[in-house]
Amino acid sequence: MKRGPVALASTAAGLVAVIALHSSPSPSPLAGGPTTTTSSPPPPSSTGSSPATTTTTALPGALLSAVGPSEQYGYGVISVKVTVKGHRIMDVTVASLQTAESYSQQLAQQAIPMLQSEVLAAQSAHVSAISGATYTSEAYLYSLQSALDRLHVS
């Protein structure tokens, strides 16, 4: 498989970049891993949601985690907690979830474990974007993005 610069740094730069890992026409000096990338600063977030909380430590390679703001999606409100080590997402969990009715709750409970794994899997998939039916996912990724921005993963 061709490997491009696997920029989790890019994850901090944008929502799609959570799953944006680009192919490269030729082997890149960075092909070996995601840890030596740099990135432009994240753009200003347009969200007016509640502020995220951040736990940080200065140690390189330490686990850092942050909770993203609550984001509306079609059927409820979700916020996401992300834990990173260096430039790698180690874990993604749901910090809070509210849905209008039990059907949506049920669907979200089915979708969220998939999304968690999806984010982790996409890190090694080298794709520009993921196409698929989504409702919960975008709010999930948006909150995740904001959480990553708080961590300045770049």
Please give the Cα distance from 5 to 17 (Å, whole number): 12
Residue with Cβ nearer another protein (55 or 110) = 110
Separation of alpha carbons 119 and 21, rounded Å: 12
Number of Cβ within 10 Å of residue 122's Cβ equals: 18
Nearer Cβ to another protein, position 40 or 55? Answer: 40
Q: Which residues of 88-109 are buried (b: 16+ CB within 10 A; e: fewer)?
A: bbeebebbebebeeeebeeebe
Contacting another protein within 83-122 (CB under 8 A): 103, 107, 110-111, 113-114, 116-118, 120-122
**Judged by CB under 8 A, does residue 19 bind another protein?**
yes
| CB nearer another protein, residue 98 or residue 130 | 130
Q: Where does this chain touch another protein (CB under 8 A) — which range of 19-27, 58-66, 76-84, 93-101?
A: 19-27
**What residue type is assigned to position 27 of the chain?**
P
Instruction: Identify residues 20-79 at the interface with another protein (CB under 8 A).
Output: 20, 22-25, 30, 37-40, 42-43, 45-47, 71-74
CA gap 56, 6 in Å, rounded: 24
Cβ proximity to another protein: between 39 and 65 the closer is: 39
